[in-house]
Amino acid sequence: MQTKPNILPSLKLVLSFFVLLSLNAVKAQPFLKAHPHINPYRYEIVKEMTFDNGAVTSASPLASMVGAAMMKDGGNAFDAAIATQLSLAVVFPGAGNIGGGGFMLARKANGELIGIDYREAAPSKASRDMYLDEKGDPIPEKSTRGTTASGIPGSIAGIISTHAYAKLPFAKLIEPAIEFAEFGYVISEREAKGLNSEKANFLKHSSAPSAFTQKEVWKAGDTLIQPELAATLKRIQKNGLAGFYEGETAAYIVKEMGHTGGYITLEDLKKYTPKFRKPLEFDYKGHHIISFAPPSSGGILIAQMMQMIAPFNVEKMGLNTLESVSLMVEAQRRAYADRAEHMGDPDYWKVPTKTLISNSYAQARMSDYKAGEAGSSKTTLAGQVHESEQTTHFSVIDKEGNMVAITTTLNDTYGNKTIVAGAGFLLNNEMDDFSIKPGVPNMYGALGGEANAIQPGKRMLSSMTPTLVTVNNKPYISIGTPGGTTIPNQVYEGLVNIIDHKMSIKQAIDATRFHHQWIPDVIAVESDFPEDIENGLKAMGYKTMRRGKFGRMDGIQISAQGKRVAAGDKRGDDSVAGY
């Protein structure tokens, strides 16, 4: 005879198991449980919205929402920026990072400017010709793939330095990132495509399989859980800088170096320090523009280009007309020629910043400009001066008027494709931003010279251009974008769209873009660039090239009524949040 099982005790057991599980989840997810509107398994992209108090715009809806929540919880723009950046390291792994570096530019409501350089640095074993073979030719992939390509990561040191300006405890700001890593988040179609297309590279360049390679094929809606990254973030939560630059995490990084012959040592990690850089400032048509100093080239480039075109009535020329595009391209040609010759890490090379950003130099550089005629990079060389693609940008403005603009990078998408075994994060391939051989272009086709040659401890020249604008000494815009050497041109065009063409920040960000970087002597245009203007440029003698979209510009503008108008680029999953 069969006996009927008494299901009551086992039901009780199951119920108490679930009660325990949900209590544990509340305990384990203090941030997400306290902010139920942030649901990592169901979220939407918001491209443009106006907020009364504070706003964030970034490459990920979840990261933007986390930043906004920190401000609502009593934090300021610095709290929001720290929490957003740490969240991006989990929910936007292609560029958000703890294994890379970046630049933090801020203007406090009282007018104080802050620039924190946490760019990666060359390891102590680095040397000028480390990427060349015996014939003096670049060794394929050595500066772009695997651990040999990595500079010493700066992101965690930069974030911790930024915390001096924040209000909330660091342990709270890193908590959302830990919860996203530990309990997972749902990936977008874009992320699924990225992970699938890099799977073979991840396996080839890492010593062990990782969270990114756990699935055969990723699809939109899958949940990505990163337990090793969660454990690393918890070590940082507990031990601060030492949680990354020393102990277990540092040991994992150095062990991973051993897999493909990388150069970073325990001593390199321990010695890494972020540097404060005085932000660059210049005026353009009633606007005061603040941007990043070397080792970024971005601030100098936009100062040069905008001052070169300032005497012209660009508004009257019109958006994307032959006249306005050729004028703006000729400014790009001249400024990028100077980039190759004069710019590098100012602690290792005397960058003539003061001259390069002076209005008189800009006018002298344009003295041979002839409207209606295509210039040539054979005859336009760097000026004589007497006296340096995958990245992510986010912007924050809080209710007091503190503005933060951060651009951070692993260099290429998913960096050097190496996930540190045991620690669960990607490493950068930033060493390729040095001139590995003067005269040989890097992955962005950019040339460099002695100013940007490799030396131990030196920081590679960057194009990242986090930028702020004030009018009448009042906060106005926080803006920036990823895109390698196209970054300064994108910011330049975005600002001209707003200032000269009177576009809204969203229109300015979404508008089609063009890019000239001196060498190669060609104008790259996005696929929606007007065909008749491209044909007109060719008829003038320019070479043009159609390429896919470039950049994902994110910005916030303060309206005349004091509202925060936040916009995310149409080109990505970029999304805004605020309150």
Q: Which residues are catalytic?
A: 391
* Under rule CB under 6 A, residue 388 binds ligand GLY: no
Q: How far apart are CA 489 and CA 361, in angstroms?
A: 19
For the chain, give the longest Cα–Cα distance: 104
Interaction residues for ligand GLY, span 59-118 (CB under 6 A): none
**Residue indicated by tokens 């990936």:** 187
Helix (H) or strand (E) holding 558: strand 554-558
Q: Which is nearer to ligand GLY, 67 or 482 (CB)?
A: 482
Taking the complex as a whole, the smallest distance from the CB of residue 193 to ligand GLY amounts, in Å, to 22
Taking the complex as a whole, the smallest distance from the CB of residue 416 to ligand GLY amounts, in Å, to 12
The answer to whether 121 and 266 are in contact (CB under 8 A) is: no
Tokens, residue 229: 């990254």
Q: Which is nearer to ligand GLY, 174 or 340 (CB)?
A: 340
Interaction residues for ligand GLY, span 224-243 (CB under 6 A): none
* Under rule CB under 6 A, residue 484 binds ligand GLY: yes
* Under rule CB under 6 A, residue 391 binds ligand GLY: yes
Q: Which is nearer to ligand GLY, 249 or 391 (CB)?
A: 391
Q: Which is nearer to ligand GLY, 56 or 410 (CB)?
A: 410
DSSP 84-100: HHHHHHHH-TTT--SSS
Q: Which is nearer to ligand GLY, 97 or 391 (CB)?
A: 391
Q: How far apart are CA 73 and CA 79, in angstroms?
A: 10
Interaction residues for ligand GLY, span 240-279 (CB under 6 A): none
Q: How far apart are CA 31 and CA 199, in angstroms?
A: 31
Distance in angstroms between the alpha carbons of the first and the last residue of the chain: 67
Query: b/e for 193-231, b at 16 or more Cβ within 10 A?
Result: ebbeebbeebeebbbeebbbbeeeebeeeeebebebbbb
* Under rule CB under 6 A, residue 187 binds ligand GLY: no
The answer to whether 166 and 116 are in contact (CB under 8 A) is: no
Interaction residues for ligand GLY, span 405-464 (CB under 6 A): 409, 411, 430, 433, 462-464
Taking the complex as a whole, the smallest distance from the CB of residue 430 to ligand GLY amounts, in Å, to 6
The answer to whether 362 and 304 are in contact (CB under 8 A) is: yes
Taking the complex as a whole, the smallest distance from the CB of residue 336 to ligand GLY amounts, in Å, to 13
The strand pairing partners of 394, in sequence order, are 406
Q: Which is nearer to ligand GLY, 118 or 180 (CB)?
A: 118
Taking the complex as a whole, the smallest distance from the CB of residue 278 to ligand GLY amounts, in Å, to 19
Taking the complex as a whole, the smallest distance from the CB of residue 299 to ligand GLY amounts, in Å, to 12
Taking the complex as a whole, the smallest distance from the CB of residue 228 to ligand GLY amounts, in Å, to 25
Tokens, residue 227: 């337990």
Query: What does residue 560 show for φ and ψ, rounded to 5 degrees?
Result: -60, -30
Strands (E), 349-502: 390-397, 403-411, 467-471, 474-480
Taking the complex as a whole, the smallest distance from the CB of residue 391 to ligand GLY amounts, in Å, to 5
Q: How far apart are CA 109 and CA 221, in angstroms?
A: 40
Least Cα distance to 325 among 550, 527, 536 occurs for 536
Q: Which is nearer to ligand GLY, 374 or 464 (CB)?
A: 464
Least Cα distance to 481 among 438, 511, 442, 439 occurs for 511
Q: Which is nearer to ligand GLY, 410 or 576 (CB)?
A: 410
Q: How many residues does the chain have?
A: 579
Q: How far apart are CA 434 and CA 440, in angstroms?
A: 11
Q: How many residues bind ligand GLY (CB under 6 A)?
A: 9
The 3-state secondary structure of 236-270 reads HHHHCCHHHHCHHHHHHHHHHHHHHCCCCCHHHHH
Binding site for ligand GLY (CB under 6 A): 391, 409, 411, 430, 433, 462-464, 484
